[in-house]
Each structure stands twice: as C-alpha cells, then as structure tokens.
C-alpha cells in the first residue's frame, strides 16, 4: 500500500509505476483505492463510474478497468457530494453526515471489493488518500490504515519534497500514527525532487534508521502526459501555439483531462472574466450544469460566447458545455434558458448515463472514427432539424445506432468525453481552423498513455530501490 503525507504528493503515479514494475516481472496486478474524491472520472468495463487515477493504474497493469478497483467515488457538489458506489449513484451526502453515518457499511463493502481483486491477482497495489495521520477523522477514515490493517498490507509513505518540509512530513506522519499502525510502515519515498540529490546527504537514511524503516529513494520531478486525479493545469498560465483557445474555467469543471491535447498544441487561455477573442471557444463539462450556467451569465460570459460565435470563432461544448449552448435546461424544479446556439433542450433525469462510446464524427466531413465515454444525467433532445455531431455505433461493447450532439456551422456540442484524444480528429479540426486563417497545416503533438506510463516507470526503476520493495511481497 502507498500512503501519502498529504494530498497531492504523487501517490497515484507512484502506484502506477509500481503496478507497471510488478507487471513487468510477470505478475498479475490490480490497483485499488477504496474511496476517491474527484470530478475526473472514467467508465469501467461494467459501465460504471470510477476515478481516473485507478483507470490509469489499470492500464499500467494491463488489466480491464473495473469498479472494484475504486468501489467508492465522491463527486463534490455545492453542498456535499454525490456518492458513487461500485460505479452507480448511491445517494447524496454532506461531509459530516457521510463521515458519521455510512463509514462502517462502506468500509465493509470496500474490503470485499479488495479481497475479490486479491483472489484473482498475484498482487494488489493499494493507494491511500490524503494523509493517514488526520487525527480529527482517523476513527472514520476508511481509505488508509484501516484498509492496510484489513489485509495486512505493508505501507510505503510518499512525501512531496518539491513543497519543502519533506523530512517533517515523514516525521510528523509517523509520530501521529497509533502504535499498532506504525508497524505497517516499512519505508518511504521522496517524490518530485528537482536539483542535486547529493544535497540530501545521508539524512534520508538517518531518518529511516530512527524509525527502523527503509528509505527507498528519491523520485525526480518529471513532466509527463499521464492524466492525473487532480488537475495538473496551471490555470494562470497560457499555452503556446499558432491557434488561440479560450477555455472557460467553470467553478465545477469536470474531466479536465479532456483538453490536454489542446494544451499541447494551442495557446489555451483559461477564462473566468473578460473578453473572448480565441479562434476556438470551449465550454467544458461540469458537475453542476445549471449553477455554472448561471455563473456564466452573472459574469457576462454567455454574451461573450455568443459574440464570439457571431464573429466566426469555433464554439465547442462538451457534456455540460453542450447542454449550456442549447435552448433550455430543466431539472424538474428549475427551467433555465441556455445560450440558444444550437436547437437542443436538456432535461435532467434520475438515471445517470455512464457508457464507453465508439462511432464516427460528422463535423469535419471526413467521417473520422472516434471513441470516448459519457457520464451525465441530462437527456438532450433536438427541437428542429437533426444535424448530429456524431453517430454512435457501439455502447459498452455492444452495437448501437443513434445520433450524438449537434452541429451548426462552426458550433458543435457533444457528450463525447475524451474527444480530443482522438488525435486524427483533433489534427483535422485544428487544421480546419488553420486553413481558414491562412496558416500552414501542422501535425499535432500526440501522446500514448502506455508509452508515458513506461517512461515514468523507467525513471522510477532507475531511481528507487525496487529490489527492496519487492521483498515486501
């Protein structure tokens, strides 16, 4: 099990590297995290919703992503979270209510899912959440030491040395653990180091000896293109390229890794206020569509988006963004006017659509094959002539045939999350814009997830004492 000294220390990628390392050894490996809190989700083989980090880790294991790898997913909302259990909506809860009333039930469910993975794999690599030393909530923590204790898993601590105070992170974490918890900690890793490792001298080993554990090494900081659970985006930094993209930074933006390929290939500006002048305007997905639409209107960004469309900018709406550019959104209690850019009305229903999708797009005129996934409550219906963005031909591995999204000139909306990771489509789309502007066409920068995982794992294996870690199993 990999636990962190705080959130954001890089546990997810360390787990992915360990998964890949043990897979290279010929073992069957699965990742596991009992509970995750994230708006960045993926769709499992069962057609259920799971955290993006366990999805990526399953690819590192060369295993089919399953909701058993992340049995509980919390998706934050304005006054609490939607609780996803084994891929399906379970209910809604405020933080205090959730922490007090459901933990025993969900801990038992999580351990059952973990044991099911253990029964079908040689090894399970478990990820913790936040810190195991949050003493104010430890009695209700079902994602750190209670999981390690339930299956007698040795624990590796990870500290983010880039933040500073890494020695204190390790020391403080161990000191705040109970005596029966400390025995599970077998060693630690410093992560995201930038600079000369010799400056650490022998102090990491000294600290390890103090607690009778091992120092497994220091992982250098590396730029990569692996989707993470939390956003790697610097929202205050613009991208680079010959095309400009205004990406609306919604308060409840979800599945933000949809737009990584745009970050690699265009000048992306993250917009919360002000004028829009991009060649392309993107309204992303959101967990709170109506609330974020009202936020847009309060800031005058709905008018800016409409003006951009009139000037000839391309306007793209993904999932919640697609719903916003339509005529109307209703949820049974509220009926809110959209931006009226496409003739579509959306009604929210109780059942959530969670599917992996394959089909062909109709926007570029080249009928390019695309794949992705959908996660949404809203059902969108055309109010005039049908002009779909895509035809969906396969849903969760089964043949299908229906229209998705809408195209109106340079405006399109779609429920396809992951659209821009279809690199043939993205290259043709960006080159459409370039041709119109009289710019030279370009090949886009692409990324293979498996190649990026291998590159990260190669660096991990060359910097971390993996032989000592192997002895833990």
Q: pLDDT over 70 for what percent of the chain? A: 96
**Domains 2-225+451-470 and 244-446 belong to one CATH topology:** yes
Q: Is 429 exposed, middle or buried (0-12, 13-18, 19+ CB in 10 A)?
A: buried
pLDDT given for residue 164 in this prediction: 87
pLDDT confidence bin for 236, thresholds 50/70/90? low
CATH topology of domain 244-446: Rossmann fold (3.40.50)
Mean pLDDT (whole number) for 337-360: 94
With residue 188 as reference, give the H or E element that holds it: strand 185-193
Taking 70 as the threshold, does the pLDDT of residue 388 lie above it? yes
Mean pLDDT (whole number) for 288-304: 96
pLDDT in tens, 248-273: 999 999 888 899 999 999 999 999 99
Taking 70 as the threshold, does the pLDDT of residue 235 lie above it? no
Stronger pLDDT, 332 or 467, i.e. the higher one? 467
Average pLDDT, the chain: 93
- Active-site amino acid positions: 319, 417
The C-alpha angle with vertex 200 and arms to 199 and 204, in degrees rounded to 5, equals 170
| Rounded distance between C-alpha atoms, residue 447 and residue 232, angstroms | 16
Mean pLDDT (whole number) for 131-154: 93
pLDDT in tens, 275-293: 999 999 999 999 899 999 9
Least confident span in 75-79, 87-91, 132-136: 75-79
pLDDT given for residue 294 in this prediction: 96
Instruction: Quickly tell me which residue has 């997905």 as its tokens.
Output: 285
Which bin fits 201, alpha (ψ -120 to 50), beta or left (φ > 0)? left
Q: pLDDT over 90 for what percent of the chain? A: 81
Taking 90 as the threshold, does the pLDDT of residue 404 lie above it? yes
| Rounded distance between C-alpha atoms, residue 466 and residue 473, angstroms | 12
pLDDT given for residue 100 in this prediction: 64
Strands 214-220 and 185-193: parallel
pLDDT in tens, 418-435: 999 999 999 999 999 999
Domain boundaries, the chain: 2-225+451-470, 244-446
Among 105, 219, 248, which Cα is nearest to 158's?
219
Taking 80 as the threshold, does the pLDDT of residue 116 lie above it? yes
pLDDT confidence bin for 75, thresholds 50/70/90? confident
| Rounded distance between C-alpha atoms, residue 267 and residue 264, angstroms | 9
Taking 90 as the threshold, does the pLDDT of residue 161 lie above it? yes
| Rounded distance between C-alpha atoms, residue 292 and residue 426, angstroms | 26
Most confident of 19-33, 71-85, 98-112, 348-362: 19-33
pLDDT confidence bin for 98, thresholds 50/70/90? low
Q: Token pair of 298, please?
A: 């309060």
pLDDT in tens, 449-463: 999 999 999 999 999
pLDDT given for residue 230 in this prediction: 58
Looking at the domain that runs over 2-225+451-470, which CATH code has it been given?
3.40.50.300
User: Is residue 413 helix, strand or coil?
Assistant: strand
Mean pLDDT (whole number) for 378-403: 94
Among 168, 166, 143, which Cα is nearest to 221's?
166
pLDDT given for residue 138 in this prediction: 85
pLDDT given for residue 227 in this prediction: 82
pLDDT given for residue 399 in this prediction: 95
Stronger pLDDT, 226 or 148, i.e. the higher one? 148
Are the C-beta atoms of residues 127 and 12 closer than 8 Å to each other? Answer: yes
Mean pLDDT (whole number) for 224-248: 76
Stronger pLDDT, 82 or 13, i.e. the higher one? 13
With residue 357 as reference, give the H or E element that holds it: strand 344-361
Taking 60 as the threshold, does the pLDDT of residue 95 lie above it? no
Taking 90 as the threshold, does the pLDDT of residue 197 lie above it? yes
pLDDT in tens, 315-341: 999 999 999 999 999 998 899 999 999
pLDDT given for residue 335 in this prediction: 94
Instruction: Quickly tell me which residue has 């206020």 as its tokens.
Output: 273
pLDDT in tens, 198-207: 999 999 999 9
Taking 80 as the threshold, does the pLDDT of residue 77 lie above it? no
């Amino acid at each position: 099990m990999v636990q962190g000294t705080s959130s954001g220390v890089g546990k997810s990628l360390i787990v992915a590297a360990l998964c890949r390392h043990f897979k290279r050894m010929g073992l069957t490996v699965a990742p596991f995290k009992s509970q995750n809190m994230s708006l960045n989700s993926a769709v499992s083989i069962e057609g259920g919703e799971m955290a993006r980090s366990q999805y990526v880790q399953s690819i590192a294991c060369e295993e089919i992503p399953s909701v058993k790898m992340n049995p509980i997913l919390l998706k934050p909302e304005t006054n609490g979270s939607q609780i996803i259990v084994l891929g399906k909506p379970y209910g809604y809860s405020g933080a205090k209510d959730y922490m007090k009333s459901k933990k025993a039930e969900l801990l038992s469910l999580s351990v059952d899912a973990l044991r099911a993975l253990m029964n079908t794999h040689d090894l399970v690599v478990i990820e913790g959440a936040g810190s195991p030393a949050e003493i104010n909530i430890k009695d209700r923590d079902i994602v750190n030491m209670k999981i390690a204790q339930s299956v007698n898993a040795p624990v590796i601590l990870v500290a983010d040395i880039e933040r500073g105070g890494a020695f204190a992170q390790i020391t403080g974490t161990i000191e705040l653990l109970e005596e029966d918890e400390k025995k599970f900690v077998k060693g630690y890793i410093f992560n995201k180091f930038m600079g000369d490792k010799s400056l650490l001298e022998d102090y990491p080993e000294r600290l390890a000896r103090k607690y009778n554990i091992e120092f497994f090494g220091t992982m250098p900081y590396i730029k990569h293109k692996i989707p993470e659970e939390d956003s790697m985006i610097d929202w205050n930094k613009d991208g680079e390229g010959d095309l400009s993209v205004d990406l609306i930074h919604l308060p409840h933006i979800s599945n933000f890794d949809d737009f990584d390929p745009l970050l690699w290939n265009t000048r992306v500006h993250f917009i919360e206020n002000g004028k829009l002048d991009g060649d392309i305007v993107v309204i992303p997905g959101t967990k709170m569509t109506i609330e974020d639409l009202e936020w847009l209107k309060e800031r005058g960004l709905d008018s800016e988006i409409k003006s951009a469309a009139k000037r000839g900018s391309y306007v793209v709406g993904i999932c919640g963004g697609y719903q916003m550019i339509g005529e109307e959104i209703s949820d049974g209690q509220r009926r809110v006017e959209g931006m009226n850019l496409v003739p579509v009305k959306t009604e929210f229903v109780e059942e959530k659509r969670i599917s992996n999708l394959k089909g062909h797009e109709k926007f570029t005129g080249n009928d390019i094959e695309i794949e992705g996934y959908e996660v949404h409550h809203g059902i969108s219906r055309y109010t005039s002539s049908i002009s779909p963005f895509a035809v969906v031909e396969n849903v969760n591995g089964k043949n299908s045939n229906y229209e998705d999204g809408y195209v109106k000139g340079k405006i399109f909306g779609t429920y396809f999350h992951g659209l821009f990771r279809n690199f043939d489509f993205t290259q043709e789309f960006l080159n459409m814009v370039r041709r119109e502007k009289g710019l030279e066409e370009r090949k886009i920068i692409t990324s293979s997830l498996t190649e990026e995982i291998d590159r990260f794992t190669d660096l991990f294996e060359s910097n971390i004492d993996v032989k000592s870690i192997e002895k833990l199993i």
